[in-house]
Amino acid sequence: MAMTLFPLLLLLTVASLAGAESGGDVSGQIRLSCGASASATDEDGRAWDGDATSTFAPSVAGVAAAASYQDPSLPSTVPYMTARVFNSSYTYSFPVRLGRVFLRLYFYPSAYADDALFGVTAGGVTLLRDFNATQTALALGYAYVVREFSLNVSSETTTLNVTFSPSLSPRRGSHHAFVNGIEIVPTPDMFTTPVPTFANGGRPDLAPIRADTAYQTMYRLNVGGEGITPSHDAGGFYRNWDNDAPYIAGAAFGVTFEKDNNVSIQYNPPSVPRNAAPEGVYATARSMGPNAQINLNYNLTWIFPVDAGFYYLLRFHFCEIQYPITKVNQRSFFIYINNQTAQSQMDVIVWSGGIGRAVYTDYLVVTTGSGEMDMWVALHPDLSSRPEYYDAILNGLEVFKLQKYGIHSLAGPNPTIPPKRVVSMVDGSRSESRKKSSVVCATVGGVAAGCLFAVLVVCVLTWTIRRRLQKAGPLKPADGLLVPTKSSDLFGPVHN
Ligand SMILES: *[C@@H]1O[C@H](CO)[C@@H](O)[C@H](O)[C@H]1NC(C)=O
Ligand SMILES: *[C@@H]1O[C@H](CO)[C@@H](O)[C@H](O)[C@H]1NC(C)=O
Ligand SMILES: *[C@@H]1O[C@H](CO)[C@@H](O)[C@H](O)[C@H]1NC(C)=O
Ligand SMILES: *[C@@H]1O[C@H](CO)[C@@H](O)[C@H](O)[C@H]1NC(C)=O
Ligand SMILES: *[C@@H]1O[C@H](CO)[C@@H](O)[C@H](O)[C@H]1NC(C)=O
Ligand SMILES: *[C@@H]1O[C@H](CO)[C@@H](O)[C@H](O)[C@H]1NC(C)=O
Ligand SMILES: *[C@@H]1O[C@H](CO)[C@@H](O)[C@H](O)[C@H]1NC(C)=O
């Protein structure tokens, strides 16, 4: 049946795909290397203005500082090796166009960070509060910290103010603030389309997504593939895609694979725009493995430490990339989020329209409580439609935190440094084993912290019923919506 619902309408030529790949709209991008007095280019080819001479920061306050040590894991000396240090609140004002931008803040803790504790606000949203960059870097197992936010600059103003505010110190006046780099990259609206529609059929309107919602990127993973550096991102957005292996829970890693040589990755704009993710994300994947019996006995699971008490948008990128999986009902699986079924009968061919075709689905996860928690994402074969293979697949995954509306905040606590990890700042590295141990330890800590949340209410909503599916016909039963049944801790499925 599904084949008639999803005719392969799209016959893009390889040539047109290649043409769309190059360039991208880079206008309106702003990069400030804070504490630097001259322009410089980073390893990704991005040009940075020194904030001491930039028109974006006339009469910049604070003092310029230089890092005393260049960690070998730094992706580039620019903008990490210089910093601007503030002992009182300072606002950078950037001229921006209306609409959405990525705002990236770069922090490399060095001697100038010794007494740094500060907040950052931008566009009226608190991005960081009492931020300790040293602790955050230690906890994550990196020498440096990049925080990426997506903000919608509203119509009233076309200035994006980014304010660094030292936290008050009980001992003397205040701590100080620092920043190494600030980057602004305009983007189209990547979040509110396709528009979720909940407010009918007696369903409670739980949609918390507003057009002006601010997001923080928590994780962006090229599942089953190598990390993809910013210069290789799609759309000229300079996103960074990490390998997913450090987040896999347990010993069962599944298998990773690349696309067959005779498969080309195809997008389907506007529902799957070419800038959704670079081809490299879709061209590699992780599946459970070739052995059906083993697959039935485990869940392919990733664990992500996140801040409790926020809504999260999880974006799963899928693409079938190897023969013989070309037809409907060859591979069908469950997506579990926090041990709840977010999706049953996930069949990538049904959603995408064929082998090599990229697609993504979004799920909204509601968490309550405070402090740190672990978010679980798991895949398992769904046998209800008697698929040919008992397996599951994932190509990419993004986890975004949504702002809290009432208090206009994205800020969470500083992550706790995993116990029993012998790490010094000079030895930060991006190696998988380090990240892995960090995540495993964080998980242990998270389980303990979980006891602190007397009530952890979790609700998973699915809304991405892609436009093409909506046009094509009735929703699959799998497009269910999980909503609260009553004011208890548990949420059950509600069907149309
Ligand atoms: C803050 O830094 C400025 C130099 O940028 C200095 O003149 C001033 O005395 C400092 N204030 C405090 C309270 O340390
Ligand atoms: C930041 O965190 C580090 C590591 O936990 C700690 O040593 C330092 O005192 C903290 N800084 C402030 C200002 O709290
Ligand atoms: C940005 O900050 C400047 C001064 O720091 C202020 O004059 C202006 O009104 C602010 N703009 C917005 C949109 O908050
Ligand atoms: C930004 O928010 C406004 C509403 O405040 C909305 O109309 C607009 O579509 C949003 N733009 C983007 C790119 O999200
Ligand atoms: C593509 O290559 C794979 C093996 O690499 C092969 O099994 C498959 O039949 C080929 N498909 C087509 C359409 O040529
Ligand atoms: C999911 O279930 C496992 C095993 O029962 C449990 O250890 C874990 O804490 C649960 N995760 C979440 C986020 O509830
Ligand atoms: C997989 O996860 C689901 C949801 O947490 C759980 O119900 C199921 O028992 C798990 N299956 C295995 C084999 O661990």
Residue-wise pLDDT for 447-471, tens only, equals: 333 323 322 333 344 333 332 333 3
Q: What is the distance of C-alpha 304 from the center of its chain? A: 11
Higher-confidence residue of 392 and 456: namely: 392
Asked whether 105 and 120 are in contact (CB, 8 A), the reply is yes
- Average pLDDT value for residue range 65-83: 97
C-beta separation of 405 from 125 below 8 A? no
- 359 Cα: distance to centroid of ligand 5 (angstroms): 21
> What token pair was written down for 407?
């208090």
CB-CB contact of 237 with 185 (8 Å):
yes
Say which residue, 349 or 26, is predicted with more confidence. 349
Q: DSSP assignment, residue 194?
A: S
Structure token digits, residue 191: 């979040």
Token pair of 124 as six digits: 């009226």
Match 């689905």 to its residue by tokens: 361
Q: Residue 433: what are its φ and ψ, rounded to 5°? A: -65, -40
- Treating both helix axes as pointing N-terminal to C-terminal, what angle do 133-140 and 432-450 enclose, rounded to 10 degrees? 110
**Cβ 205 under 6 angstroms from ligand 4:** no
Tell me what percent of the chain is helix, strand and coil, each rounded to the nearest 5: 15, 35, 50
Q: Which ligand sits closest to the CA of 258? A: 5
3 has a pLDDT exceeding 80: no
- Coil vs helix vs strand at 482: strand
The CA distance from 333 to 294, in Å, is: 15
Q: Which residues line ligand 7 (CB under 6 A)?
A: 297-299, 336, 339, 378, 380
Examine the pLDDT at 108 and tell me if it is beyond 50.
yes
CATH 2.60.120.430 given to domain 25-187: yes
Ligand positioned closest to the Cα atom of 450 = 6
Q: 9 is written with which tokens?
A: 């309408």
Q: What per-residue confidence (pLDDT) applies to 208?
A: 57
Residue 464 contacts residue 173 (beta carbons within 8 Å):
no
Please tell me the total number of residues recorded for the chain in this structure.
Answer: 496
> Tens digit of pLDDT for each residue in 257-311?
999 999 999 999 988 999 999 999 999 999 999 999 999 999 999 999 999 999 9
Tell me how far apart the alpha carbons of residues 55 and 47 are, in angstroms, rounded to a whole number: 15
How far does the centroid of ligand 6 lie from the alpha carbon of residue 467, in Å? 33
Q: How far apart are CA 79 and CA 178, in angstroms?
A: 13
Task: With beta carbons less than 8 A apart as the criterion, state whether 364 and 463 touch.
Answer: yes
pLDDT, greater one: 78 or 491: 78
Q: How far is the CA of 189 from the centre of ligand 2 (A)?
A: 37
135 Cα–ligand 2 center, Å: 6
Evaluate: CB of 376 within 6 angstroms of ligand 6: yes
Q: Which two tokens stand for residue 10?
A: 């799209």
> Residue 130's closest CA among 189, 170, 81?
170
Atom of ligand 3 nearest to the CA of 160: 13
Q: Please give the residue that has the higher pLDDT: either 348 or 432.
A: 348
Query: Is the Cβ–Cβ distance between 400 and 316 less than 8 Å?
Result: no
Ligand 5 binding pocket (C-beta < 6 A) is 260, 262, 323
Q: Which one-letter DSSP state was computed for residue 361?
A: E
Radius of gyration of the chain from its Cα atoms, rounded to whole angstroms: 23
Average pLDDT, the chain: 80
Q: Where in the chain is the domain with CATH 2.60.120.430?
A: 25-187
Report residue 402's pLDDT band, with 50, 70 and 90 as the boundaries: very high
pLDDT at 420: 57
Tally of CA atoms within 13 A in the half-sphere of 495 that contains its CB: 5
Q: Which residues contact 466 (CB under 8 A, 6 or more apart)?
A: 194, 271, 272, 351, 359, 361
Per the structure block, which two tokens stand in for 484?
């609260």
Report the predicted TM-score, pTM, of the whole model to 2 decimal places. 0.83
175 C-beta closer than 6 A to ligand 2: yes
Q: Which residue has the tokens 């490299």?
A: 280
Q: Is 338 in the pocket of ligand 6 (CB under 6 A)?
A: yes
Query: Residue 366 CB: number of other CB atoms within 10 A?
Result: 20
Give the closest ligand to the alpha carbon of residue 151. Answer: 4
CA distances from 319 to 8, 9, 168, 316, 479 (A): 15, 17, 49, 10, 19
Residue listed under structure tokens 């300790």: 132
Among protein residues, the one whose CA lies closest to atom 8 of ligand 4 = 211
- Centre of ligand 6 from the C-alpha of residue 338, in Å: 7
Task: Give the tens place of pLDDT for each residue, 172-216.
Answer: 789 999 999 999 999 998 887 543 332 223 333 445 578 889 999
Q: Cis check for the bond before 270: say yes or no (omega within 30 of 0).
A: yes
Ligand 2 touching residue 176 (CB < 6 A): no
- Residue identified by tokens 């304010």 is 163
pLDDT at residue 207, as a whole number: 55
- The amino acid at residue 315 is R
Q: What is the pLDDT of residue 169?
A: 87
Least confident stretch, 192-196, 316-320, 331-335: 192-196
pLDDT of residue 26: 55
User: What pLDDT band is residue 432 in, cutting at 50, 70 and 90?
Assistant: very low
The sign one gets for the Cα dihedral 143, 241, 65, 41 is positive
pLDDT (average), residues 27-34: 94
Q: Yes or no: say if 265 and 279 are a contact pair by the CB < 8 Å rule.
A: yes
Counting ligands in written order, the one closest to the CA of 163 is 3
64 lines ligand 1 (CB under 6 A): no
Contact call for residues 175 and 167 (beta carbons, < 8 A) = yes
What atom of ligand 6 comes closest to residue 376's alpha carbon? 13
What is the pLDDT at residue 158? 83
From residue 103, how far is each of 54, 120, 123, 161 by CA, in Å? Answer: 18, 12, 11, 11
**Dihedral angle, C-alpha 303, 305, 311, 315, nearest 10 °:** -40
CB 357 near ligand 4, within 6 Å: no
Q: Around 398, how many Cα atoms within 13 Å sit in the side-chain half-sphere?
A: 23
> In which band, very low, low, confident or very high, does the pLDDT at 330 lie, cut at 50, 70 and 90?
very high
